[in-house]
Amino acid sequence: MTRALLAEPRDPADSPAPFRLCHEVAEAWEAVADDLAAARRSIDFEQYIVGNDAIGRRILGIMADRARAGVRVRVLLDWFGSLPLKDSDAVRDLHEAGGTVRFYNPLTARAVLMAPTRIHRDHRKIVLIDGEVAWLGGICFTDRMCDWRDTFMRVGGTVPRPMAEMFDLSWRRAEHPTAKRRMTRAEAERDVYHRQDGPFRYMVNSPEKPIRRDLFRCVLERIDEATHTLRLTTPYFVPEHRLLRHLTAAARRGVVVTLLLPEVSDHPPLDILGRAFAERLVRAGCTVHFFRHRMMHAKVAIVDDAWACVSSHNLDRLSSRLNLENGVTSGDPTFIAALNDRFDRDLENSITEPPALESWKPLLDPLLRLFGRVF
């Protein structure tokens, strides 16, 4: 089943799926707002961070307007990432308008103490409109991210159906957080998610089995199959050891591996850890670039100019092992060329010498040693 899932579509022309890539957060917000306002039948919205601020209230307000017009609106927000919205006027207004809002996986002391894996977060970014238009990628909806460099993708074709199926699984889990819901292998073989056959393939990491780490396993397999080039963009680089091993192995067999990180992220402690892991890649022959002047938050992979992925998946242990993540993969030449073009432009605004973060090192050296042993 895994090989069939990871295989690229047989004939992209059979299932055309026009796409749009937004590489600026503010641009993506406007495009999503326009699509939400045009919804006729349904809106499914799943997000890690929606702020109780101007853009957060604006997006929820648009969905409340559509709910009043008879559109079915379901909003699934991560409890931790969107906590400021929990008892907000914007959420109450949406409920009163006829929409439904659920918060995924509230943290409790019992859950943390009894089963630390239960602290996983819903890190997906989904906007699904009328079952026909899908948005996904790395973009959240909070004012502090308005000038970030990120990637959000609009796509139709065969992607909305499996996205809706996976949304329904998370929606039910949010309603019954203690229920042990596992997909049987027979269910997985029958469902839409495992029968995708278009130019773009929707993939997830999920607590549901047997699809738990599909997206991560797909990326690992493509890294192993790379023969010429491997280009990766991620905001945080704290990989589990297996990913680091696959990347260094690719470089040592002659693949040109290029990693793009932010010069300074919104989580400086992770920058220290990321530098340490990046140094291992450099020693193996990889090139690491640091995007300058503003936050780089995109999550993109391009392999051999033959395969690419846009996702919510950071190259860190939380994304690969715990969190709900999602992405789209494709061998479509136009899609790959567009991502390569943007990667080249980002490299023009980057440096290869890491910025100095000496002020953090006295505090974080013990943590760095701990991660070195764990990974």
What is the predicted pLDDT for the residue at 117? 58
Average pLDDT per 10 consecutive residues for the chain, totaling 375 residues = 35 57 98 98 98 98 98 97 94 98 83 62 96 97 98 96 92 73 55 76 81 88 97 96 95 97 92 89 95 96 97 94 94 97 98 67 55 48
* Both structure tokens of 342: 């943007």
Q: Are 285 and 170 in contact (CB under 8 A)?
A: no
What is the predicted pLDDT for the residue at 5? 34
Distance (Å, whole) CA 238 – CA 281: 12
What is the predicted pLDDT for the residue at 7? 36
3-state helix, strand, coil in the chain (%, to 5): 45, 25, 30
Q: What is the DSSP string of 53-97?
A: SHHHHHHHHHHHHHHHTT-EEEEEEETTTTGGGTT-HHHHHHHHT
Distance (Å, whole) CA 202 – CA 326: 7
- Residue 229: which residues within 8 A CB-CB, separation 6 or more? 255, 256, 257, 258, 302, 303, 304, 305
What is the predicted pLDDT for the residue at 323? 92
CA 188 to chain centre: 22
CA dist list (Å): 63 to 50, 115, 180, 310, 311: 13, 35, 31, 25, 24
CA 157 to chain centre: 20
Cross-strand pairs, 350? 291
3-class DSSP assignment, residue 101: strand
3-class DSSP assignment, residue 283: helix
To 10 degrees, the CA torsion angle through 91, 93, 97, 99? 0
The pTM of this model reads 0.88
What is the predicted pLDDT for the residue at 4? 33
